[in-house]
Structure 1
Amino acid sequence: MTDVDDSKKVPAGETQGSAAEGQCPFGQGHTTPPTAGDQNQRWFPERLNLHLLNWDAPERSPLDKDFDYAAAFESLNLDEVKQDIVTAMKTSKDWYPADFGTYGGAYIRMAWHAAGTYRAFDGRGGASTGQQRFAPLNSWPDNVLLDRARRTLWPVKKKYGKNLSWADLITLAGNVALEDMGFPTFGFSGGRVDAFEAEEVYWGPETEWLANDRYQGDRELDNPLAAVQMGLIYVNPEGPDGNPDPVLSAKDVRDTFGRMGMNDEETVALIAGGHTFGKTHGASTPDKIGPSPEESGLENQGIGWVGPTGNDTLGGGPEVTWTYHPTRWDGEFFHILYAYEWEQMESPAGAIQWRPVNGGGDDMVPEAHGEGRREPRMLTSDLALRFDPEYDKICRRFKDDQEAFTDAFARAWFKLIHRDLGPKTRYVGPEAPSEDLIWQDPVDAPAHVVTDSEIETLKKAIAESDLTVAELVSTAWASASTYRNSDFRGGANGAHIALEPQKNWEVNNPAQLSRVLDKLNEIKSSTGIDVTLADLIVLAGGVGVEKAAEAAGNSISVPFTPGRGDARQEQVDTESFNYLEPLADGFRNYDSGKHVLPAEHVLVDRANLLGLTAPELTVLVAGLRVLGANWDGNNDGVLTDRPGELTNDFLVNLLDIDNEWTKADEKATRYNGTNPHTGKSFSGTRADLVFGANSELRAVAEVYAADDAAEKFIQDFVDAWVKVMEADRFDLHR
């Protein structure tokens, strides 16, 4: 479902035909207004962006702080909502005439492009916060005209207000469109909470739309990216970098959809199923299409890509209708794909596309508007499904088995629009399916939830064991810190750290991990308490923190809420879980050397995925250092004479004004430090020194390093620790 405005490559963020080409619209002669963005980032492009640790803060939301969106969605009459969507879908607007009398194709594409930004490497993108409403996504060339599709749904959003998020409405509209055109969907879950600001996601290094500077070697796409060009959702529909070679296009298709977590069958089902409906919009020359929504004038009220008449549906890319009946669910896509031989042609916008040779099917496809008819057409990326041997096998099977195709598309579509919603425990609404799907990371519910007295018995046994503070804390951290706030995957629930692939990840110190898990299982057996390993690991980490605080002369209690379950190995999608393996973890001073970013940037990125604030990041790193939780027992950043005690020594010693630091290697990944007054020597990494070198992090660190901050540091560490341990406890917070 790709409409690409490939009219020209324009520097991303610059305007086309806007005031920025001339004088400031405020009449002051300045081309950069004071509200244009972070001036520090312009002066110092390598600086840390700590706004990532305050993204979509509660203060940004106009909704009440105690508003429970999941409960609000469940209160809706979903049948009524869906009927209202159908009404909007069939009410053609003169400023955006509906193709074939329905916005069904547009709604499917809208939902697809909202969800399709998801990428498995870091879980970012996707539909779960309604990011398609904001720049840059609202102005990506691949999203041309979707501003209008969303605007047609405003009456529905207006009617239900806060009880129906834009994120849910966009995806639900796609489902409703499919159902209205005869497709039996797999189900739908609400629960996507709207953000109220654009998420700062790294979409690629390019500074021009449709540019491509993201490949190395033999077309190896940089991680964590999934799309082939800046401003595209998936692949270039004309072929790799515009080269109309279906075989080469298949390579891009497989890589891109794989990076979204889709296998070959799901890929074929999604492309063929989506392209059963609707059309692309390239029936205009590029020079007649106005600027994108984000660059458009105020008088356009957020509508961009205005055509020559102001009420057209022109996008400037390919002009393709795939099937004979573009508002009906059927298997025509495959039959048409194989029924003809294909030749290249150009759309009115100059985009490369394909049509049957010798005028085949020239009166089989209806025009979107009027009474005319024309031939079916295909994109290069469509023909890739026929000419790639593996895709071809799947296509031929689906062509001959409509039931299999329908089931495959239903499941693939459901996965597409729910992939970043997280595990099934987050699903809400009457249409949420009951079937467990492996990509949902299913976990068995605990047969027994331990009682308070059982917890105390277990804590006593853990404390009296020979497990060290470092072992207890490291294991709990390794289990819980896989959590990703981007797609709600990972975390301590399920005890996946005891299963493949996590138990053998280098970052988890497999030998040490095996010893700790064996000892915890012995404790479980010796006490006779039916506790899940997931709960026991987290409980043991809390015992380690309590022991460390007591050793430092402070008596604390780390809150613990039982209820986690254990996953079975057969419930684990091993390949998918490998995406959660960290290439670096600054919290444990681990670095695999398999990434190119400085360690402090990787640390902040990891903190963002954990949903941490700058103070929480600071106290966690400082606390983990003194607790001895470094990877493989390395001594970097352990700036204390009393390791194993929970103190603020890391920050106190780091900020000592008498310290002298020197680079320990040419790449400046490690540093050696000395204090000429105390005679102490120490070492640290970039993930350590950043708390003294970065001005904003230093401001936070100074609070916790002050003489009056010892108790506050411990309490804030415990609070941040529990936050990470319970990040995936969706039964406690939705």
Structure 2
Amino acid sequence: MTKPSDTSGGGCPVMHGALTESGDTVMAWWPKALNLDILHQHDTKTNPMGEDFDYREEVKSLDFEAVKEDMRALLKDSQEWWPADWGHYGGLMIRLAWHSAGSYRLADGRGGAGGGNIRFAPLNSWPDNASLDKARRLLWPLKKKYGNKLSWADLIVLSGTIAYEDMGLKTFGFSFGREDIWHPEKDVYWGAEKEWLAPSDERYGDVGKPDTMENPLAAVQMGLIYVNPEGVNGTPDPLKTAQHIRETFSRMAMNDEETAALTAGGHTVGKAHGNGDAETLGAEPEAAGLEDQGMGWSNANQNGLASKAVTSGIEGAWTAEPTKFDMGFFEMLFGHEWELRKSPAGAQQWEPVDIKEEDKPLDASDPTKRRNPMMTDADMAMKMDPGFNAICQKFMADPKYFEETFARAWFKLTHRDMGPNQRYIGPDAPKEDLIWQDPVPAGSTGYDVEKAKEAIANSGLSLTELVTTAWDSARTFRGSDMRGGANGARIRLAPQKDWVANEPEQLAKVLAVYEGLSAETGASIADLIVLGGNLGVEQAAKAAGYDVTVPFAPGRGDASAEMTDEESFAPLEPNADGFRNFTKAEFVVTPEEMLLDRAQLMGLTAKEMTVLVGGMRVMGTNYGGTGHGVFTDKPGALSTDFFVNLTDMANKWEPASKSTYNINDRATGETKWTATRVDLVFGSNSVLRAYAEVYAQDDNGAKFVNDFVAAWTKVMNADRYDLA
């Protein structure tokens, strides 16, 4: 047995590396093991506020006007330790809000401003987020003052919005309600690169074809929010950059007009920083010393001057008046010819061939001096790409239209992951329904629920049809951006009605029945779908010997095709659903990894995932009616048989193909059942097996049914924000 360290001789009293990321972990020893960490993050143990704290209720008591007034004062209160450009922190706060929100991507809904994830690694130390640690420290007095009533996530986005207002933009609105997280999000895949700003080639099939970027990624390189401002892989070429901009912004849910508006509006104010030697900067926040107190990129050469800051390496303002929201970006970009030059920090940037001294912006620190403006490769793309050029011409011809388009695009950028507008809080929250919010009309609550339930029971629909239709409708929910779910019954609309995972032929049959019942009972189709699923679960529980009532709350509405952006719903299509033993194709990642991903997006814990898989199997709800994982002689009964037979050592498990297994009687060799990787992982993974053994116990039949009903109800009501 190893002896404890001898601290009397200066030995370390703890295991070296055990308390840092460099220490060995279970996953380091067995890297192919299924990592359940994403289902355990953000639990109550990490939250210092306690289980009874409800931020979305707390923020409603905030003095909204006082916060905004304090923010306006802060913007113009330049601090000696981090001086403001032209005495105004607007550009810095806009960049903070932008980069917090801009990590959002449509493919999986992850990233974005919700949660304030930019406070933690890796985002807090990305090269593209350099010096945003200073912006957060500047905001600390407001966070300290308003405390629990104002989250970091809300404060960060608010800072950029108020900055725009203070510089002359009529914004579209603002909503509070973003709840803070308390440690880094482990579920977000930022790319496979092992170093910052590695060549883009690593995340593209062909970097010359932007649409070959690996999903679900959106940014072109590790450590960037959007595209490289110097050009593709740092090589200036505005036409190539334009194609990458188009792809990247579309993956962040923006069309070409929104993209052009955001580019122009974002660069109408503020400046880029590269007036110095980037090699002299200190380490990023996560690598900085204790004495730096969480701040990074120290600049010994700044000497208290805003104009000496180094961030991206590109140096200069885009407009003649960088603290005003106006048409200056277009006037500068289209009013001059541009040529490539190097910034003082050595970055590639575009500068005007010829410009009058009086048309140049003032130095950020010294109002007696003027400096050359600059444009990034992305800015030049707005001029040189025919499509973006045409949009910019339209904006220049109608400044009011540009301002309105930008204001709406900024609102979308900063609110995209908040979900529908019924989740909005505060006096400035707009009431208008926007298609990207996936609006759903209010549903009826005045019909007779029991009569509707009886009508479903007499409709001739099978238990499998009832349960699978409800599940397929609800499983689209993504807690990452509050999209999807059963409310709205979009499963009956394109594109969902045609998804392979939804078994379109069976779905059409079920929906035809529900359409008739909706007219007969007054219930929405969305309510009937969920009510039917609940009925199926109750029937399965009864077949197992348990009388239960699955909780049901009426009030779901039926969305129309006009309320549905088909293109933006395409990424919600399930490529795999381990709960129904469905895999659309063979992927690089394993089916069990895809099960974890779906469970995490749905907001499920490891226990809830386990109980749902076991229950769905014995109810016979597999995709296509396959028998894989249906470890029971009485399918349709909500029994514990899946877990009992999975853990029964009278059985032997043998591979039958690359992805399927036979479960044979150990004594006779007879094949009793078949299984997939998703089924057997609940016996092979030590954590999942621990859960499975709980439900395999003789005394936990009732617990299993009750736990299943609770997890099922959670899934069915995940998007019922009106019930919160």
TM-score, scaled relative to structure 2: 0.94
Shift of 1:285: 1.3
Label 1:151 to 1:26 Cα distance change in 2 as closer, same or farther (>3 A).
Answer: farther
**Residue number among 660, 664, 679 corresponding to 1:670 in the alignment:** 660
- Structure 1 gap ranges (5+): 1-24
Shift of 1:361: 5.7
What is the 5 A alignment of 1:204-353?
204-211=191-198, 212=200, 213-217=202-206, 218-219=209-210, 220-309=212-301, 311=304, 313-353=309-349
Partner residue in 2 for 1:389: 386
Moved more, 330-339 or 650-659: 650-659
Between the aligned partners of 2:231 and 2:58, the Cα distance in structure 1 is 44
CA contact (8 A) 1:583 1:593 kept: yes
Partner residue in 2 for 1:719: 710
Between the aligned partners of 1:38 and 1:154, the Cα distance in structure 2 is 36
2:425 equivalent to 1:433: no
Shift of 1:58: 1.9
Partner-residue secondary structure (3-state), 1:553: coil
Moved more, 677-686 or 152-161: 677-686
Label 1:163 to 1:458 Cα distance change in 2 as closer, same or farther (>3 A).
Answer: same
**Residue number among 482, 485, 489 corresponding to 1:495 in the alignment:** 489
Deviation by residue 1:408-462 (Cα, 9 ceiling, x = unmatched): 000000000000011111000000001110000001112x3145xx111122222
Shift of 1:664: 3.0
CA contact (8 A) 2:497 2:504 kept: yes
**Residue number among 60, 80, 84 corresponding to 1:98 in the alignment:** 84
CA contact (8 A) 2:153 2:180 kept: yes
Moved more, 298-307 or 54-63: 54-63
2:17 equivalent to 1:32: yes
Shift of 1:60: 1.5
Deviation by residue 1:640-673 (Cα, 9 ceiling, x = unmatched): 11111111111111122233223333xx322222
CA contact (8 A) 2:581 2:623 kept: yes
Shift of 1:89: 1.3
CA contact (8 A) 1:459 1:539 kept: yes
Partner-residue secondary structure (3-state), 1:689: helix
CA contact (8 A) 2:620 2:635 kept: yes
Partner residue in 1 for 2:551: 559
Between the aligned partners of 1:294 and 1:732, the Cα distance in structure 2 is 40
Label 1:658 to 1:283 Cα distance change in 2 as closer, same or farther (>3 A).
Answer: farther
**Residue number among 533, 539, 543 corresponding to 2:525 in the alignment:** 533
Partner-residue secondary structure (3-state), 1:373: coil
Shift of 1:365: 1.4
Shift of 1:46: 2.3
2:466 equivalent to 1:472: yes
Partner-residue secondary structure (3-state), 1:673: strand
CA contact (8 A) 1:280 1:321 kept: yes
Partner residue in 1 for 2:719: 728
Deviation by residue 1:299-333 (Cα, 9 ceiling, x = unmatched): 11111000014756322521131000000011111
Shift of 1:176: 0.3
Between the aligned partners of 1:415 and 1:695, the Cα distance in structure 2 is 43
Between the aligned partners of 1:229 and 1:360, the Cα distance in structure 2 is 37
Between the aligned partners of 2:82 and 2:456, the Cα distance in structure 1 is 66
2:625 equivalent to 1:636: no
CA contact (8 A) 1:140 1:232 kept: yes
Partner residue in 1 for 2:4: none
Label 1:334 to 1:28 Cα distance change in 2 as closer, same or farther (>3 A).
Answer: farther
Between the aligned partners of 2:34 and 2:349, the Cα distance in structure 1 is 44
Partner residue in 2 for 1:57: 43
Between the aligned partners of 1:603 and 1:27, the Cα distance in structure 2 is 42
Partner residue in 1 for 2:514: 520
What is the 5 A alignment of 1:175-214?
175-200=161-186, 201-211=188-198, 212=200, 213-214=202-203
Partner residue in 2 for 1:14: none
The one-letter code of the counterpart of 2:107 is F
Label 1:136 to 1:522 Cα distance change in 2 as closer, same or farther (>3 A).
Answer: same
Between the aligned partners of 1:514 and 1:105, the Cα distance in structure 2 is 53
2:95 equivalent to 1:109: yes
Shift of 1:582: 1.1
CA contact (8 A) 1:284 1:316 kept: no
Partner residue in 1 for 2:599: 607
The one-letter code of the counterpart of 2:449 is I
Shift of 1:594: 5.9
CA contact (8 A) 2:440 2:558 kept: yes
Shift of 1:33: 4.3
Q: What root-mean-square deviation, in Å, do the aligned CA atoms of Structure 1 and Structure 2 show?
A: 1.7
2:124 equivalent to 1:135: no
Between the aligned partners of 2:117 and 2:501, the Cα distance in structure 1 is 33
Between the aligned partners of 1:592 and 1:60, the Cα distance in structure 2 is 36
Deviation by residue 1:378-423 (Cα, 9 ceiling, x = unmatched): 0001111111111110011111210110010000000000000111
Between the aligned partners of 1:241 and 1:309, the Cα distance in structure 2 is 28
Partner residue in 2 for 1:15: none
User: % of aligned pairs identical?
Assistant: 53
Partner-residue secondary structure (3-state), 1:461: helix
Q: How many residues align?
A: 702
The one-letter code of the counterpart of 1:514 is A
Deviation by residue 1:458-481 (Cα, 9 ceiling, x = unmatched): 222222232111110000000111
Partner-residue secondary structure (3-state), 1:519: helix
Shift of 1:543: 0.2
- Structure 2 gap ranges (5+): 1-9
